[in-house]
Amino acid sequence: MQVLLGPGTEFDRIRAIAARLGDRASGLGDDCATIPDGPGFLMVSTDTSVEEVHFKRTWLEPEEIGWRAAMAAFSDLAAGAARPIGLLAALTSPDHGEDLVRIMDGVGDAVRGCGAVVMGGNLSRGPVLSLTSTVIGRAPRPMGRSGGMPGDGIWVTGSLGGARAALVAWNAGRIPSRSAREAFARPVARIEAGVWLATHRAHAQMDISDGLAGDLGHLAAGCGTGATVVLENLPIHTAVPGSAELAGQAPEVMAAEGGEDFELLVALPPTFGSPEADRFRAECGLPITRIGTLTTEPGVRLLLDGHPMTLRGHDHFG
CA distance 268 to 289: 11
**Segment interacting with Mg ion, rule: CB under 5 A, options 162-170, 195-203, 206-214, 271-279:** 206-214
Give the interface size with Mg ion as a residue count (CB under 5 A).
4
CA distance 243 to 254: 9
* Residue 63 or 76 with smaller CB distance to Mg ion: 76
* Residue 4 or 250 with smaller CB distance to Mg ion: 4
Q: Which of 207, 210, 252, 263 forms a contact with Mg ion (CB under 5 A)? A: 207
What SS3 state is found at 111? helix
**Segment interacting with Mg ion, rule: CB under 5 A, options 54-62, 64-72, 204-212, 249-257:** 204-212
| Buried-state track 2-26, b at ≥16 Cβ within 10 A, e below 16 | ebbbbbbeebeeebeebeeeeeeee
CA distance 95 to 91: 11
* Residue 262 or 272 with smaller CB distance to Mg ion: 262
- Contact, 66 vs 113, CB < 8 A? no
Distances (CA, A) of 70 to 28, 75, 229, 269, 289: 21, 9, 30, 31, 26
Q: Please give the full DSSP string across 180-232, using - where no structure is assigned.
A: HHHHHHS----HHHHHHHHTTT--EEEEESS-HHHHHHHHHHHHT-EEEEEGG
Least Cα distance to 135 among 154, 115, 105, 150 occurs for 115
- Please, what is the minimum distance in Å from the beta carbon of residue 31 to Mg ion? 4
Distances (CA, A) of 307 to 61, 73, 152: 42, 36, 22
Least Cα distance to 139 among 81, 75, 85 occurs for 81
**x-marked contacts with Mg ion along 159-198 as a string, rule CB under 5 A:** ----------------------------------------
- Please, what is the minimum distance in Å from the beta carbon of residue 303 to Mg ion? 25
CA distance 270 to 294: 10
**Segment interacting with Mg ion, rule: CB under 5 A, options 188-196, 209-217, 285-293, 305-313:** 209-217
> Under the criterion CB under 5 A, does residue 31 sit at the interface with Mg ion?
yes
- Please, what is the minimum distance in Å from the beta carbon of residue 288 to Mg ion? 18
* Residue 184 or 262 with smaller CB distance to Mg ion: 262
User: In the window 240-279, what residues touch Mg ion (CB under 5 A)?
Assistant: none
**Segment interacting with Mg ion, rule: CB under 5 A, options 11-19, 24-32, 119-127, 172-180:** 24-32
**Segment interacting with Mg ion, rule: CB under 5 A, options 3-11, 16-24, 87-95, 203-211:** 203-211
**Segment interacting with Mg ion, rule: CB under 5 A, options 116-124, 199-207, 228-236, 267-275:** 199-207
* Residue 32 or 104 with smaller CB distance to Mg ion: 32
- Please, what is the minimum distance in Å from the beta carbon of residue 3 to Mg ion? 14
- Contact, 190 vs 75, CB < 8 A? yes
- Please, what is the minimum distance in Å from the beta carbon of residue 305 to Mg ion? 30
* Residue 51 or 76 with smaller CB distance to Mg ion: 76
Q: Contact residues for Mg ion (CB under 5 A)?
A: 31, 76, 207, 209
